[in-house]
Amino acid sequence: MAVEWSQPILQRYIDQGIEESLTLEYKSAEALYEGNGREKEIAKDVSAMANSAGGIIIYGISEHQDRLLRFRPHQLTPVDRTICSKETLEQIISSNIQPRISGIKIFPVPLSSSLHHVAYVVRVPQSDTVHQVARTKRYYKRFNFESVPMEDFEIRDVLNRTGEPIVASRVGHMTVEKINDEWIWSVPIFAKNDSMTVAKDTALTVEFLDARPENHIAAEKFVIKTQPKPSPYKMYISAFDEAIHKGLNKWFGTFKVTVHEPQALTVKVQVFANGMRARWWVVKLNFGENSATIQVLDEGYLY
């Protein structure tokens, strides 16, 4: 069911400290005002969302300036609709991105601070082609909660979304159970097909590159794979025999990881599917006392 956007819902994002992600970004009101390079920045952020997994950009919520709370919402910063109307925002998006993105929706959310105050929720669909910022001729993607330039192979990946499977790994929402002096984190692993072409015979491998014996890693659905070459790391593998259609997230398994204090673990994930170049990601799992975050360190192709 579609979200009915309102001020209480936006406030809930702030109160619950919902972090930015691949599919969620916060922007303060100043991002929509002239003199801040707004056309280029808006085009960069919107095109990056479309070139990646799609998602939501909320104009009218600022981020925390505290480094430890970075990427979390701080407070509402109302947009004056007499300075930047919905129509103005639509015109900026449509005239500064090539080719135009179909299916963008903008939801003005009235705020109680003034009759002229709003926040704009921009829903951006994932695109089946690649979009560039018209002024700079640059292509962008979402990476670690930011809009960054795309590599050549990434541009070709997007252009091939309709021709071959593009399966990407995902770490789901991590939860913790505290038992005495141990924190046992559940780390679910998913894969999502970003292509119109069905993915078949998909498999994932996972290696914890710097785990210590006291981390006591246990796996559900993943099994330990014998590697052809000696390796200091255990390799876990899980396969999904059913077809994975466009936009679907499929669960491959969950790891239980024990830590005794805040700790970061580096994990390498590889994804294989028929008709697709095998891909890999190296991510860092940052386990805190009550919450955990994910940071992508590197990615590429096996061949």
What pLDDT, on the 0 to 100 scale, is given for residue 1? 36
Q: Do 130 and 221 belong to one domain?
A: no
Q: Do 147 and 238 belong to one domain?
A: no
What pLDDT, on the 0 to 100 scale, is given for residue 230? 67
Q: Do 13 and 153 belong to one domain?
A: yes
CA 268 to chain centre: 17
What pLDDT, on the 0 to 100 scale, is given for residue 161? 62
- Quick check: is 208 in a domain? yes
CA 204 to chain centre: 19
Q: Do 122 and 229 belong to one domain?
A: no
Q: Do 192 and 95 belong to one domain?
A: no
What pLDDT, on the 0 to 100 scale, is given for residue 186? 96
Q: Do 294 and 188 belong to one domain?
A: yes
CATH of the domain at 113: 3.30.950.30
- Quick check: is 50 in a domain? yes
What pLDDT, on the 0 to 100 scale, is given for residue 64? 84
End position of a domain, from candidates 105, 132, 159: 159
- The domain tally of the chain equals 2
- Quick check: is 1 in a domain? no
Q: Do 103 and 202 belong to one domain?
A: no
- Quick check: is 207 in a domain? yes
- Per residue in 183-228, pLDDT tens? 999 999 999 988 778 899 999 999 999 999 999 999 999 999 876 6
**pLDDT tens track, the chain, 303 positions:** 346 899 999 999 999 888 888 889 999 999 999 876 789 999 999 999 998 888 899 999 998 877 767 778 999 999 999 999 999 999 999 999 999 998 899 999 999 999 999 999 999 988 878 999 998 999 999 887 788 899 887 887 777 666 678 888 999 999 999 998 899 999 999 999 887 788 999 999 999 999 999 999 999 999 998 766 666 788 999 999 889 988 788 999 999 999 999 999 999 999 999 888 888 999 999 998 888 888 888 877 786
End position of a domain, from candidates 131, 159, 187: 159
Q: Do 26 and 138 belong to one domain?
A: yes
CATH of the domain at 175: 2.60.40.10
Domain span including residue 257: 167-301
Q: Do 252 and 117 belong to one domain?
A: no
- Quick check: is 2 in a domain? no
